[in-house]
Structure 1
Amino acid sequence: MRISDVLNGKSIKEVITVPPDAPVRDLVDLLTEHNVGALVVSHDGQALDGIVSERDVVRRLASDPDLLTHSVRTIMTTDVHTCETTQSLEDLMLLMTQRRIRHVPVVEDGGLVGIISIGDVVKNRIQELEFERDQLDSYVHQS
């Protein structure tokens, strides 16, 4: 299975982004509004400037109570691991496991086309296992 297949199966295809100069409070509002765990940081909605997650907010908030007034750029990760639509889901699972990351932006021809979360990966894997189970069950009961 390819990353493009996972993207096509997502109910929400839009990638929510936040500008790097936005206050962290706006980031938190967007995370809540869209019920997501991370946002791509982008100055124009297409370029990949960074990524920021709920974890980034929580970890910094403990040491900086004024964090919500700072800009997103102060907590975003700039060394972002990405994948391409043609890559296999297995390669993405390996990347997520090795790097201990839960959100990976998907790029194609240098532009942002999606984001895959660990939840998307798990959902897809469950669907694959259910399909295999149903096929085996059908085979066993035909004999």
Structure 2
Amino acid sequence: MKLRLGGGGMQRIFKQTFRIQEGERLLKASRCYLSTTAGPIAGLLFISTEKVAFCSEKSLTISSANGGFIRTPYKVVIPIEKIKRVKESQNIDKPKQKYIEIVTIDHFDFWFMGFVNYDKAFKTLQKSINTSQQH
């Protein structure tokens, strides 16, 4: 599977890829990379009123329980209420390389990088978290 934009664009991909709660709204979708121990994975980061969700652009091949292989997109879903903090970072040697670190209340951290519009993605994420904490 490769994510393709078409009729409905990002909203359609978001609804097809993730479970959407009643009243949930997509606030921003951004192309970026998720940092993993195996290296960065290209994909789309979705920021909604309820969650931060990432889906890889291309499916990854993983081994299945029966010894074969399956192709599946790499997905991460972080409910907004599980986010402890969001932090901006940048590479000291290359200041244009900016990162968003999301730390969850159960001490997992996720690093996103390579945004086309880093500032807008970061501000939307902060707004979503602040709005969630007020409810």
What TM-score range do you get, normalising by the shorter chain? Answer: under 0.3
Provide TM-score, normalisation by structure 1: 0.24
Q: Which has the larger radius of gyration?
A: 1
Q: Tell me which protein shows more strand as a share of its residues.
A: 2
TM-score in terms of structure 2 length:
0.25
Higher share in helix: 1
